Structure 1
Amino acid sequence: MRKFHPSWLVLLAILAVLPLVASTFYISLLNNIGMFALATLGVVLLTGVAGMTSFGQAAFVGLSAYTTAALVAPSTLNLGAMAASPWLALALGLALTLLFAFVLGLITLKLSGHYLPLGTIAWGMSLYSLFGTIESLGGHSGVPDLPPLRIAGLTFGDGPRMYYLIWVCVLLAIVLIRNLLESRVGRAIRALRGGQEMATSMGVNVFRTKMIVFLVAAGLAGVSGWLYAYTQRFVSPAPFGVQAGIDYLFMGLLGGMGSLWGAVIGSAVVVLLREWLQDLLPQLLGRTGNFESIVFGLLIVLVMQRWPGGIWMALSRRFKLRQGGHVRLPAPGAGVPALPRSARPKPNERILDVRKVTRRFGGLVANREMSLRVDAGEILAVIGPNGAGKSTLFNLVSGVDVPNEGDVIFRGHRINGRSPRELAAEGLSRTFQHVKLLPDMTVLENAAIGAHLRGHKGVFASALHLDGEDEARLLAEARRQLERVGLGHELDRTAGSLALGQQRILEIARALCADPCLLLLDEPAAGLRHKEKQALAELLRKLRAEGVAVLLVEHDMDFVMGLVDRVVVMEFGQRIAEGRPEEVQRDPAVLRAYLGGVEE
């Protein structure tokens, strides 16, 4: 059961009392803050959490607002009778907004780098122009005659009743998004920011996850647009242009892109400051003008210098507020059923068979007719000098790259061109030469990403907190693997605070959460102390006894030679030796590769 912090009760009490003590003018401002906060929550989710910059959020607000206006205003489509069905207007507005978002997402989300924000500006401008050119919707003059919102016989104008409705929507959105981000789907969403390659290798469908975030953000904008139409009772294109999209980003930046509450604080700061500055600056300067924009620009620069995480992050540090939510971790021995395991390979089953693989990069041949095999219950090491082609071979085996010639056979099936996500589903898991963790997430959450494919609950179950059993099993598995590798006492620490050696061990625990039959380890002993290497070697021996095949690249010869069953030596992209460790150590070709010559 989730325990609510006492600050929640204080916040709810303040929100409940405000309309009783505030003037009509400030109630109207609070309504605007709430509507802006809803849309800004989508920006925080898109940009702050998932790392996708969008300037088009205002266009989605406008799309929903115009849909509502078209359905309920008597002067538009003659559907004014629908004014008695506000929930139908909301449903249709959301449906149209999500449909547009889905189509635009199919196009836009395939872009990367600066092309993504430029793409959102393009379709944001297009929708803004569309609003202004449809004569049946009033063109640039807008739709002026929307009826007030009526629910259960109550009329909601722009006063206290609408205030309570708006802020119930804001609080409900925060709770639902928080639930989502603390789930299996939420970990995939958070991995989008700086961890897409890792997430794909763990089985996360990155494009689908991006689409989920995009649609959730559009849905929040849709609710905001519906509320806007009924609150203002007038809809025109002006509030939904690209400049409005930039304003939403400003709100997120000022409040804090990494926090849901930052959306509320940023919206409040922008709305209130804009109102106060519009009154104060003309008096100070002796003339009217858009001076508040200059102040906002300077304010953004100041906040980014002093508080890069935004106002909410600064307040959290000042008052020592907990960041993020509480991981739903069952206590040890709580009786959580273990996750089902895949069928174990048969003894000596051929797990991986690389057959005369060649990979060219222009005139450079990184791998030339490279072959190796790994059986179930075997540890094979690939060694060689820097530049020998080991990393390229790893990429070919793990699906990151595709060979020009030859075949990679995994459990009897040719996998050339198969994606890392597909291979993860079939039992191939890996670590990386350069550690790929999510530094702001806890050790437990990082490990749980490895079990992504072993969970089944989706967006709605996660947001509604109906994924309790599924989530408990995933986190219990992550805890078990962390305890297995010696990190069971570090569950609540952020991954970025661990030493490099511990981070490498965490990567192994994450890979083990996927229940692999083939484990690819890229320099796992780098950065480990002597005792940590001994513990890692003992863990790999246990995995070998369980039938797991291990293929590792390593430069620490003492670690390799005392552990592995066979060694493959590469030089200039080719295999120059293969055999048992003691045989390879005496091979003249290996001595030449490492020492530059052979003693006579």
Structure 2
Amino acid sequence: MTRRSLFIFAIAACVFGLLPLPAYWVTLGNYIGLYAIVALGLVLLTGVGGLTSFGQAAFVGLGAYATAYLSTSAGLSPWLGLVAGLAITAISALFIGAIMLRLSGHYLPLGTIAWGLSLYYLFGNMESLGKHDGIAGIPPLTLFGLDLGSGKSMYFLIWLVLLVAVVLLRNLLNSRSGRAIRALKGGGVMAEAMGVNTAAMKIRIFVIAALLACVSGWLYAHLQRAVNPSPFGLNAGIEYLFMAVIGGAGYLWGAILGAAVLTILKDQLQSYLPALLGSNGNFEIIVFGVLMVILLQHARNGIWPFIAARLPQHRDAVAPDTAAPLARRARAVAGYPLLVIDKVRKQFGGLVAVNDMSFTVHGGEIVGLIGPNGAGKSTMFNLVTGVLPATSGEVRLRQGEELVRIDSLPSRRIVQLGVGRTFQHVHLLPEMTVL
């Protein structure tokens, strides 16, 4: 994603809003923008970070209901409703993320489904939120005295928010933190071995995705001027994830393209299929599912990567002729003990994988561990680098004039102290370049 492409995108969005289009197309553009904001969060969370969530619609609902309640029952400004919604969403995401992100495999998606369902039924059963009838009479937004009550004026605000979100996520993913986020998809052990705090990074991207969904819900509430639980159910959560996957889960442009394709396709199917097949069943769901399967068979990674692979590639950055040398650590004094392994033992139940092993690495030495398969060599490396906790014994590393115990530290702290590692089976990140 280049600055040029961002500029073209901004100009195209403005031109579309300024054209004398029917209200139908403006409304469609509004919904595409709202859905794309949520899908952007899922690109970060699922496409880049590798964490699947079906519960984003619940965060959309938090943003919508927070501003709806405060601007009607309490009579507060909608902008205060945005602040309150973001605060509630951040606290909820931190709490839910701290619990759910410990899960792995299919348990994490199941956990987000439970979260989405619980919020849906909470919205529908609270008397103060109007139960399933919801809240009506939400006031329109005003910005610097300008009334944003019309669909066209909301269009510019929605797409401005979308553009800002794209720029911020682009900058995040191109930063050091962004490279750490991309490393999450390759597995926690490898990321921790490179010094990444994987638990904190997972919670961070979970909160960012939730906040984007909250902003979308806030805009939705003031666009519709009424809210009820229906748009925030499990089906909506699945559709948001579909948008990110179909557009290209690892690409920011894919979120916008996926939201546009899904929204337009769903609208057209609901318009034409009842006339062709009758209105006795939800045929659009069947046809929609078949079309999505066909689409993903031909564009497995999503529509945007399929298109981008056929476009000429432009490289904005040019490598400099010379580069300043990196700072180097002081060489260890030859003969000084640098790493001391003292009677380290590792048991898995009744199986002893490493049996009271001791050795010392001195400055200037290259030490190798030699043994047959199953002797415990890889387990020993895992104990030294903090991947596995030792059952007993000590691992000490020289820090200045002292040998400091490191066997209780996590991998990310040990690598920061200067103990790096490679893996027996190569771990690569295909989406990232060497540099």
State whether TM-score is above 0.5: yes
**Are residues 4 and 426 of structure 1, via their aligned partners in 2, closer, same or farther at CA, if it must alter by over 3 Å?**
same
CA distance in 2, matches of 1:293, 1:64: 28
CA distance in 1, matches of 2:381, 2:347: 15
Instruction: Give, as a single letter, the amino acid of the residue that structure 1 aligns with 2:58.
Output: A
Instruction: Give, as a single letter, the amino acid of the residue that structure 2 aligns with 1:195.
Output: G
Cα deviations across residues 175-220 of structure 1 (Å, max 9, x unaligned)? Answer: 1101100110001101111232111012110000001100110111
Query: Which residue of structure 1 aligns with residue 274 of structure 2?
Result: 282
Query: Which residue of structure 1 aligns with residue 355 of structure 2?
Result: 368
SS in 1 for 2:296: helix
Cα deviations across residues 256-289 of structure 1 (Å, max 9, x unaligned)? Answer: 1111111111111111111111110011113343
Task: Give me the TM-score of the superposition, normalised by structure 1.
Answer: 0.69
Task: Give me the TM-score of the superposition, normalised by structure 2.
Answer: 0.94
Deviation of the 1:330 alpha carbon = 6.3
* Residues 333 and 364 in structure 2, CA contact (< 8 A), matched pair in contact too: no
Comparing 370-379 with 181-190, which one deviates more in the overlay? 370-379
1:421 corresponds to 2:403:
no
In the alignment, which of 359, 383, 390 is matched to residue 403 of structure 1?
390
Query: Which residue of structure 2 aligns with residue 127 of structure 1?
Result: 119
Unaligned runs of at least 5 residues, structure 1? 445-600
In the alignment, which of 286, 289, 292 is matched to residue 294 of structure 1?
286
Instruction: Give, as a single letter, the amino acid of the residue that structure 2 aligns with 1:40.
Output: A
Query: Which residue of structure 1 aligns with residue 322 of structure 2?
Result: 333
Query: Which residue of structure 2 aligns with residue 433 of structure 1?
Result: 424
**Are residues 88 and 287 of structure 1, via their aligned partners in 2, closer, same or farther at CA, if it must alter by over 3 Å?**
closer
SS in 1 for 2:3: coil
Deviation of the 1:62 alpha carbon = 0.4
Instruction: Give, as a single letter, the amino acid of the residue that structure 2 aligns with 1:283.
Output: A
Q: Percent identity?
A: 53
Instruction: Give, as a single letter, the amino acid of the residue that structure 1 aligns with 2:179.
Output: R
Deviation of the 1:51 alpha carbon = 0.5
Instruction: Give, as a single letter, the amino acid of the residue that structure 2 aligns with 1:59.
Output: A
Query: Which residue of structure 2 aligns with residue 349 of structure 1?
Result: 336
Instruction: Give, as a single letter, the amino acid of the residue that structure 2 aligns with 1:147.
Output: P
* Residues 140 and 223 in structure 2, CA contact (< 8 A), matched pair in contact too: yes
Instruction: Give, as a single letter, the amino acid of the residue that structure 2 aligns with 1:251.
Output: M
In the alignment, which of 281, 287, 298 is matched to residue 306 of structure 1?
298
CA distance in 2, matches of 1:376, 1:158: 73
Cα deviations across residues 142-192 of structure 1 (Å, max 9, x unaligned)? Answer: 111011111111111242211111001111111110110011000110111
* Residues 59 and 124 in structure 1, CA contact (< 8 A), matched pair in contact too: yes
Cα deviations across residues 291-328 of structure 1 (Å, max 9, x unaligned)? Answer: 21112211221122111111111111233456xx96x7
* Residues 195 and 438 in structure 1, CA contact (< 8 A), matched pair in contact too: no
Query: Which residue of structure 2 aligns with residue 57 of structure 1?
Result: 56
CA distance in 2, matches of 1:134, 1:65: 15
* Residues 342 and 395 in structure 2, CA contact (< 8 A), matched pair in contact too: yes
Deviation of the 1:343 alpha carbon = 5.7
Deviation of the 1:40 alpha carbon = 0.8
**Are residues 159 and 116 of structure 1, via their aligned partners in 2, closer, same or farther at CA, if it must alter by over 3 Å?**
same
* Residues 253 and 300 in structure 1, CA contact (< 8 A), matched pair in contact too: no
1:227 corresponds to 2:219:
yes
Residue correspondence of structure 1 range 249-260 to structure 2 within 5 A = 249-260=241-252
SS in 2 for 1:176: helix
Deviation of the 1:4 alpha carbon = 2.2
SS in 1 for 2:99: helix
In the alignment, which of 196, 203, 206 is matched to residue 214 of structure 1?
206
Query: Which residue of structure 1 aligns with residue 364 of structure 2?
Result: 377
* Residues 345 and 391 in structure 2, CA contact (< 8 A), matched pair in contact too: yes
* Residues 367 and 392 in structure 1, CA contact (< 8 A), matched pair in contact too: yes
SS in 2 for 1:443: coil
Cα deviations across residues 369-422 of structure 1 (Å, max 9, x unaligned)? Answer: 322110122211222233332112111111112333332222212233321112
CA distance in 2, matches of 1:122, 1:392: 37
CA distance in 2, matches of 1:147, 1:8: 32
Query: Which residue of structure 1 aligns with residue 12 of structure 2?
Result: 14
Query: Which residue of structure 1 aligns with residue 136 of structure 2?
Result: 144
Instruction: Give, as a single letter, the amino acid of the residue that structure 2 aligns with 1:60.
Output: F
Asked which structure has the greater RCO (Cα within 8 Å, sep 6+), the reply is 2
Instruction: Give, as a single letter, the amino acid of the residue that structure 1 aligns with 2:373.
Output: N
Residue correspondence of structure 1 range 399-548 to structure 2 within 5 A = 399-411=386-398, 412-444=403-435
CA distance in 2, matches of 1:362, 1:287: 62
Deviation of the 1:140 alpha carbon = 0.6
Unaligned runs of at least 5 residues, structure 2? none
RMSD of aligned residue pairs (Cα, Å): 2.0
SS in 2 for 1:372: strand
CA distance in 2, matches of 1:229, 1:360: 57
**Are residues 3 and 392 of structure 1, via their aligned partners in 2, closer, same or farther at CA, if it must alter by over 3 Å?**
closer
CA distance in 1, matches of 2:146, 2:183: 44
* Residues 357 and 368 in structure 1, CA contact (< 8 A), matched pair in contact too: yes
* Residues 205 and 421 in structure 1, CA contact (< 8 A), matched pair in contact too: yes
Deviation of the 1:364 alpha carbon = 3.3
Query: Which residue of structure 1 aligns with residue 154 of structure 2?
Result: 162
Instruction: Give, as a single letter, the amino acid of the residue that structure 2 aligns with 1:232.
Output: Q
Deviation of the 1:339 alpha carbon = 5.9
In the alignment, which of 269, 272, 285 is matched to residue 264 of structure 2?
272
Deviation of the 1:346 alpha carbon = 4.0
CA distance in 2, matches of 1:289, 1:339: 66
SS in 2 for 1:428: coil
Residue correspondence of structure 1 range 386-397 to structure 2 within 5 A = 386-397=373-384
* Residues 358 and 403 in structure 1, CA contact (< 8 A), matched pair in contact too: yes
CA distance in 2, matches of 1:127, 1:344: 58
Structure number with larger C-alpha Rg: 1
SS in 1 for 2:378: helix
CA distance in 2, matches of 1:3, 1:255: 18
Query: Which residue of structure 1 aligns with residue 65 of structure 2?
Result: 66
* Residues 28 and 158 in structure 1, CA contact (< 8 A), matched pair in contact too: no
Deviation of the 1:235 alpha carbon = 0.7
* Residues 255 and 263 in structure 1, CA contact (< 8 A), matched pair in contact too: yes
Instruction: Give, as a single letter, the amino acid of the residue that structure 1 aligns with 2:231.
Output: P
* Residues 10 and 163 in structure 2, CA contact (< 8 A), matched pair in contact too: no
SS in 2 for 1:319: coil
* Residues 250 and 300 in structure 1, CA contact (< 8 A), matched pair in contact too: no
Query: Which residue of structure 1 aligns with residue 38 of structure 2?
Result: 39
* Residues 90 and 223 in structure 1, CA contact (< 8 A), matched pair in contact too: yes
Instruction: Give, as a single letter, the amino acid of the residue that structure 2 aligns with 1:436.
Output: H
* Residues 201 and 421 in structure 1, CA contact (< 8 A), matched pair in contact too: yes
Deviation of the 1:10 alpha carbon = 3.4
Query: Which residue of structure 2 aligns with residue 237 of structure 1?
Result: 229
Query: Which residue of structure 2 aligns with residue 104 of structure 1?
Result: 96
